[in-house]
Structure 1
Amino acid sequence: MEVIGSGYQAAFMVPTELLAVQHYEHLCELLENMEVQAKPSVALLTGSTPSKKSRMIRKDLQTGDISMIIGTHSLIADNVEFSALRIAVVDEQHRFGVIQRGRFNSKLYTASVNSTMAPANSDGPPKGDGYMAPHILAMSATPIPRTLALALYGDMSLTQITDLPPGRLPVETYIFEGNDNGFEEVYTMMLEELEAGGKVYLVYPVIEQSEQLPQLRAASADLEAISHKFQGYRCGLLHGRMKSDEKDEALRRFKTGDTHILLSTQVIEIGVDVPDATMMVVMNAERFGIAQLHQLRGRVGRGVRKSKCILVASTASSLNRLKVLEKSSDGFHLANIDLLLRGPGDLLGKKQSGHLPEFPIARLEIDGNILQEAHAAALRVLGDSHDLDKFPALKIELSMRQPLCLLGD
């Protein structure tokens, strides 16, 4: 609101249409209750926005008539241009790929460099700010280890919120092997939860049964079997191939209590808030990443009742990896374990996992504390002598390693 009040534009990008709509409705509600003289214009741009309306929104963004835009990947389309974008928020940023984040960043800086028009709701931009880069706020409920964060975002200010939101109860996590005995225990726990008045998410790795991967349980295929197993309780289905209005209706029915069990794929991983949902069951849990399972677990435990998360593994060999989640609900601890298991990937490329020889000697997932110490030391040095005049030996060394840098030639 400070940026918009100064006459500039704001963009808010999220990974799913469901979440974009929720943010848009929430912001519109907040603006309704705010006592401001001129309400800023807010728009929603997603893949489902009709062509005619989409063209009008893009035109108003270009002229500055729209102050704030909320949207999905549509915001990084080539035909979206801003008049004077000065702040960009990326929610659930871990859900965007390396190329997508790069495209968004390049669009931001292109917008700032080419910003020759007067900003929205203003008589004109302050002098000399034509090349001002926008502020960027990247948010994620799935943290990455601080050492990796320093490597990736060393020039960004990092804030870590380690506590649960006020009033939240920790979620109890259980691991079962997906054999006959395991499923019998899971179904018994589900029935107890339903009888106590709770609601249950059932999450599957795929929508339809696959001949290539017959071991995977499928949401659509299981609908009839689960409905038969829990007679007297209504089941709903939610997945990515459904139309927007069908998704909204499935979620609405689950929220209002018309359905008690929601069979879904990972589309509910983010942006879904049903406070009286008290149990999360994940089928073939070994097919999901640790961070993803941590996010799914966060869909329950949002109300006043104690909640449970059940992870069902296909094989006994995959149980050890999942037990990490059973022992800890600390996202930062899980992120460190995930880094050790998967590897950091290519820091400067597209590969997002694997133990690559990015550094000649150290390994980020093991020796990350050295990076933290080096980061702190560099800040101390620059705090004492911004141009390194007090550190001539370091200046000479750096000038030899980086002959084109500002420190010397």
Structure 2
Amino acid sequence: MMFDELEAGGKIYLVYPVIEQSEQLPQLRAASADLETISQKFLGYNCGLLHGKMKGDEKSEALNLFRSGETNILLSTQVIEIGVDIPDASMMVVMNAERFGIAQLHQLRGRVGRGEKKSKCILVGSTDSSLSRLQVLEKSSDGFYLANMDLVMRGPGDLLGRKQSGHLPEFPIARLEIDGNIIQDAHLAALKILGDSLDLEKYPNLKAELSMRQPLCLLGD
């Protein structure tokens, strides 16, 4: 498929989750490690490399070569997610797509299909469990919907700690990703109450209840 795209004059992004291979995560494809392999496989076509550790002028040069057509295949990390506009880039292949969030993949696939040429975005997953999550991207191109689904499936993480995904057992009465409207209503109600009585003297029962509960955090300290 990639050969067909190149022969038709298209340009291809290969997107990777990491720059270098890691002993801790040997299952992940790495952009730098694949550069030689891809170059040898696609003889007659030029490959470039782009990642976040490159200097600013090196990044600009890599993008300019890809834009001009001197580079046909650009191996990159997620640095192309936002702000890259190359209209004749017509194909993207994302390696280890399960390592990216749904909203992030939606942003990445927006790098192709910006011109008149029909485009393709292929997500290569390495685990069966990731398939249902990746299939969400087939169903919609609505960024708001996909961002919400990403939150539902991954969980918001620990808002007061370091965990960046998963659901919150500390809040059994509500889940941020599902009950966002309820939380928003509660927030507005709290603002109204505090605006009416900052010291809660008008709401003695509420004040008594809150005095028995430990706050999650103290703001301003």
Same fold (TM over 0.5): yes
Deviation at 1:221, TM superposition (A): 2.2
1:395 aligns with 2:203: yes
Q: Which residue of 2 aligns with 1:312?
A: 124
1:296 aligns with 2:104: no
Partner SS state of residue 304, structure 1? coil
Find the partner of 1:277 among 76, 89, 95: 89
Give the distance between the partners of 2:172 and 2:22, measured in 1 at CA.
43
On the 8 A contact 2:11/2:90 being kept in 1, the answer is: yes
On the 8 A contact 1:278/1:301 being kept in 2, the answer is: yes
Aligned residue runs from structure 1 range 87-236, under 5 A: 188=1, 190-236=2-48
Length-normalised TM-score, structure 2: 0.80
Q: How many residues align?
A: 210
Larger radius of gyration: 1
- Gaps spanning 5+ residues in structure 2: where? 212-221
Q: Deviations over 1:363-390 (max 9, x none)?
A: 22333332244356567x57xx9536xx
Deviation at 1:238, TM superposition (A): 1.2
The residue type paired with residue 252 of structure 1 is N
Q: Deviations over 1:63-86 (max 9, x none)?
A: xxxxxxxxxxxxxxxxxxxxxxxx
The residue type paired with residue 250 of structure 1 is A
On the 8 A contact 1:240/1:267 being kept in 2, the answer is: yes
Deviation at 1:248, TM superposition (A): 1.6
Q: Deviations over 1:199-222 (max 9, x none)?
A: 111011222333443322221222
Q: Deviations over 1:21-56 (max 9, x none)?
A: xxxxxxxxxxxxxxxxxxxxxxxxxxxxxxxxxxxx
Residues 336 and 316 of structure 1, relative CA distance in 2, 3 Å threshold: same
1:324 aligns with 2:136: yes
Partner SS state of residue 65, structure 2? helix
Deviation at 1:250, TM superposition (A): 0.8
C-alpha RMSD of matched pairs (Å): 2.9
Partner SS state of residue 279, structure 1? strand
Partner SS state of residue 295, structure 1? helix
On the 8 A contact 1:209/1:216 being kept in 2, the answer is: yes
The residue type paired with residue 196 of structure 2 is D
Aligned residue runs from structure 1 range 79-94, under 5 A: none
On the 8 A contact 1:201/1:262 being kept in 2, the answer is: yes
